Amino acid sequence: MVTTHEVEQRLRRTMHAMADSAEPADLWPDLTARLAAVPTPARPPEVPVTPRRGIRRPVVAFAVAFTMVIATLGVGIVLHPFDATEPGEVARVVSRDDLAYIPTYLPPGAPSLNGSLSFETEPRHPVPRLALLQWADATETRAAAGLSVWESMTGDSPHDAYGEPEADGLWVVDLIGTEPSAEFHVVGQRDDGSVFTAIGTGTDVHPVDSGLVRDLALAVRDGAPLPAELEEWVDVTPASIEPLVPEPVWYFNSAKPESHITGRIGPDVFDPRIELVKGPERCEMVAVRAIPAARCWRENSGTLTWQIADGVAAALSSYKYSADELMAVAESMVLMSPDDPRFPPEE
């Protein structure tokens, strides 16, 4: 058995040996010729503000978010009961005094959250809420149309949380990262019910492009060639296009190793419920899904268990929830740390 330490030592030796073999030539003259043709701009070029990118601008973002909140809240209040929590229905916790809430819609058979969350009264970042509302709106719309689409947005900043996948049969489109370097995860369900995941990364194109994400997802799902516009920057590794339960992966937040979230996937049901950790009085919830990034293992019963932790689903990380609010979501809670014996040993 090779230990991690041995791997690290081999890596260091290998990298230094290989780096030593890369003795670069003096290419300054060539570079000089290239630089001579490149004027140094006196100031950074103006970046055109489009609605999508302009969402980053706080004023515009807030205005749009506020409009969306009002509109969606109004529709939600009229159309949906507040206490619906069964899968397949809209589950909401709504306070008339608090425009902040997370609607969770759970199409039958899709990942289930089994509950609702409410934000703190004071919204910290209106734009992620906008995204969440759009998410809910899009989900409900698609559900009404008979599509099972579940979309979630993640990111450290508001503009990461955006997207509008429209691919029939897709569950999750998960956008991570920031321009110019970004990564997104796509989880889809094929017609035969099997699940696939794909990870795309890009450096030249803003990942939050619904068309590209949709095209990628469809291409992956159907085994078709990637759209030409994606080939230059999207990496979809065949190994990642496998049924769920890929290589064990888990995210770890050293600052809060106790706040893990677990869920279970049964043989016939894909029901990654959130089982939140009963942490300190107030804990920050940073992960509610990111299923492809979960650590999965199979128990003797045949049940698959997955685990995710901090570092994922940052769309919700901007908000802090009380422990009670978190508890209200969870059906059961499991406290795990990396040293927890219930963790399966590393492969």
Partner 1 sequence: MIRAGTSPSGAEATPDADGTVDLEELYRARQGDLVRLAYLITGSHAVAEEVVQDAFVKLHRAWDRAQDPGPYVRRIVVNEARSRLRRLAVERRHAPPPVPVVLPPEIDETWTLLAGLSPRRRVALVLHYYLDLSIEDIADAMECRPATAKSLIHRGLASLRRKLDGHDPRS
Binding site for partner 1 (CB under 8 A): 1-4, 6-8, 10-20, 22-25, 27-28, 30-32, 34-36, 38, 40-44, 156, 176-178, 180-181, 183, 199, 201, 203-204, 231-235, 237, 247-254, 310-311, 314, 346-347
The nearest distance, CB 1 to partner 1, in angstroms, is 6
φ and ψ at residue 91, rounded to 5 degrees: -115, 125
Q: Which residues pair with 306 in a beta bridge?
A: 263, 296
Shortest distance, position 229 Cβ to partner 1, whole Å: 14
CB of 263 to partner 1, least distance (A): 19
CB 111 within 8 A of CB 270: yes
Residue 35 beta carbon to partner 1: minimum distance, rounded to whole angstroms? 5
Q: Are 217 and 251 in contact (CB under 8 A)?
A: no
Integer Cα distance of 291 and 303 in angstroms: 16
Cβ closer to partner 1: 253 or 337?
253
- 23-27, long-range: CB within 8 Å, 24+ apart, which pairs? none
Closest approach of partner 1 to the CB of residue 201, in Å: 6
**Residue whose token pair is 């030796």:** 13
Amino acid at 252: F
Q: Give the nearer residue to partner 1 in terms of CB position, either 38 or 145.
A: 38
Residue 132 phi, psi (nearest 5): -65, -40
**102 vs 117: CA distance, rounded Å:** 6
Q: Look up tokens 């703190």; give the residue.
A: 120
- DSSP letter for each residue of 299-331: -TTS-EEEEE-TTS-GGGTTSEEEHHHHHHH-S
- Please say which residue, 138 or 234, places its beta carbon nearer to partner 1: 234
d(CA 209, CA 179): 12
Output the six-digit token pair for 47: 């970046």
| C-beta closer to partner 1: residue 88 or 311 | 311
Select 32 or 300, whichever has its Cβ closest to partner 1: 32
Question: How many Cβ atoms sit within 10 Å of the Cβ of residue 134?
Answer: 20
| Distance linking the first and last C-alpha atoms of the chain | 10
CB of 323 to partner 1, least distance (A): 22
Helices marked H in 223-257: 228-231
Measure the CA–CA gap between 347 and 87, rounded to whole angstroms.
35
Nearer to partner 1, 131 or 199 (CB): 199
Least distance from partner 1 to the Cβ atom of residue 255, Å: 9
Return the number of the residue (15 or 70) whose C-beta is nearest partner 1.
15
Helix (H, G, I), strand (E, B) or coil at 273: strand
305 — phi, psi (to 5°)? -120, 135
Closer residue to partner 1 (CB): 21 or 300: 21
Among residues 68 and 234, whose Cβ is nearest to partner 1? Answer: 234
